[in-house]
Amino acid sequence: MAKLKTTFFCQSCGNQFAKWQGQCTVCKAWNTIVEEVLQKPEKSDWKTPTSTKKRAAVPLRINDIDSTKEARLDTFDGELNRVLGGGIVPGSLTLLGGEPGIGKSTLMLQISLKLPYKTLYVSGEESQKQIKMRAERINPSNSNCYILTETKTQNIFKQIENLEPDIVIIDSIQTLHSDYIEASAGSISQIKECTTELIKFAKETSTPVLLIGHITKDGHIAGPKILEHMVDTVLQFEGDRNHVFRILRAHKNRFGSTNELGIYEMQGSGLREVSNPSELLISQKDEELSGNAIAATLEGMRPLMIEVQALVSTAVYGTPQRSATGFNAKRLNMLLAVLEKRAGFKLGAKDVFLNITGGITVDDPAIDLAVVAAILSSNEDMALQKDFCFAAEVGLSGEIRPVQRVEQRILEAEKLGFSTIFVSKYNKISLKNTTIKIQLISKIEDLVGFVV
């Protein structure tokens, strides 16, 4: 038997080395280099099913290239269409990453059941029966949806050749393996090889391919970074598993903006599109409670009204506790210091807890003012008026800073029936005929007068 050919890969950046070393010389990561068995195929048996359709490329003058927009495939899912920038581009590779159990397989199966085209769902993780059971929960049935449980790319291509699907879904890229490489499934060289084969297939036949990808402990897509470079679009499915909301974001999109965001709700019968998230994120209650404030934030291009809850109480132990869920803890400490210094609140001996409801994480700085208002309200134990909302950043000297797209936030607040929105005096607002009161403030002290 011929000697096995092995090579060394950095698990972090995917670079290849001839021998083992402790540190990757390219990305400088330590202990990431692993040995993998590699067997290059004989040139003669290198064949993908589509190789006959290949044409040699010739350079074209840019002005001569046909620029008529390629028709995108409607996914029949408003949220996914929005995130992708209007639908799936033919021949594109889309990678969907996310924590285990977040609903990646559910989303993809749901899409393939909804589409009126011939879809092929390839699963390396579940049996056909299991997928059928899941499909029965989701329900909308597409009689042209085919399920294949297979992990070998060569076999998958053989089936694709027979079936000629309009769209291929792979669950997941980490379970695939190609005959041309001997390393085990999920290893860097396998992921690289299988993705290359899939890209070749997608580009040559203009069939879009959707891949599901596992993520590592620290939240990156498992496998080499190069995987994210190779595909056209990287989507991330996130959200707190214990909450009902799931957020779909684009981290990379060659055909659209990465600012868009899709929101779903996990129900007993699959994922439901949430087209008006603000109404769901704000808890409907009759009483006014202290410590609650509503922020008019923007998630990507979408205005989103979010409820901020704060609890300020006397510290039982020596060192006061500060904890924040869905908000940066360092930023909370900064805001507390500003409140202490500029508004004279003695928060040094108090525990402060902050929570963004709905299990979502916000990094829009415009939430600052609502955080401050919630803390002030809880500290004084006085409820804010239920129909107040806030959209401004707070600076270190206690100044209220302008935020981007303030008009969009104001209109959303108005639409949802808020009576007053607090924004920075330095925001340029040219809205006319609004029924909502726009309260301009410039310093944190100005806010104190309104809320306590």
Residue number, 22 or 100, with CB nearest to ligand TYD: 100
Helix, strand, or coil (residue 205): helix
Residue 25, contacted partner among Mg ion, ligand TYD, none, CB below 5-8 A by kind: none
Residue 98, contacted partner among Mg ion, ligand TYD, none, CB below 5-8 A by kind: ligand TYD
Stretch that binds ligand TYD, among 26-34, 100-108, 374-382, 388-396 (CB under 6 A): 100-108
Stretch that binds ligand TYD, among 8-16, 98-106, 288-296, 374-382 (CB under 6 A): 98-106
Q: Which positions lie near Mg ion, rule CB under 5 A? A: 105
Residue window 255-274: x/- pattern of binding to ligand TYD, with contact defined by CB under 6 A: -----------x-xxx----
Residue number, 104 or 177, with CB nearest to Mg ion: 104
Contacts of 229 (CB under 8 A, 6+ apart): none
Residue number, 134 or 331, with CB nearest to ligand TYD: 134
Question: Residue 212: beta bridge partners?
Answer: 96, 171
Closest CA to 35 of 4, 5, 3, 7: 7
354, 313 Cβ separation under 8 angstroms = no
Q: With binding defined as CB under 6 A, does residue 101 bind ligand TYD?
A: yes
Give me 364's structure tokens: 């829009």
Q: With binding defined as CB under 6 A, does residue 104 bind ligand TYD?
A: yes
Q: With binding defined as CB under 6 A, does residue 137 bind ligand TYD?
A: yes
Gyration radius from the chain CA atoms: 26
Q: With binding defined as CB under 6 A, does residue 449 bind ligand TYD?
A: no
Residue 103, contacted partner among ligand TYD, Mg ion, none, CB below 5-8 A by kind: ligand TYD
**How far is residue 202's CA from residue 92's CA, in Å, rounded to a whole number?**
6
CB of 85 to Mg ion, least distance (A): 25
Contacts of 317 (CB under 8 A, 6+ apart): none
271, 110 Cβ separation under 8 angstroms = yes
Q: With binding defined as CB under 6 A, does residue 98 bind ligand TYD?
A: yes
CB of 226 to Mg ion, least distance (A): 23
Residues belonging to the chain? 452
Q: With binding defined as CB under 6 A, does residue 242 bind ligand TYD?
A: no
**How far is residue 340's CA from residue 448's CA, in Å, rounded to a whole number?**
12
Contacts of 231 (CB under 8 A, 6+ apart): 93, 94, 95, 195, 199, 211, 252
- Tell me which residues touch ligand TYD (CB under 6 A): 98, 100-106, 134, 137-138, 266, 268-270
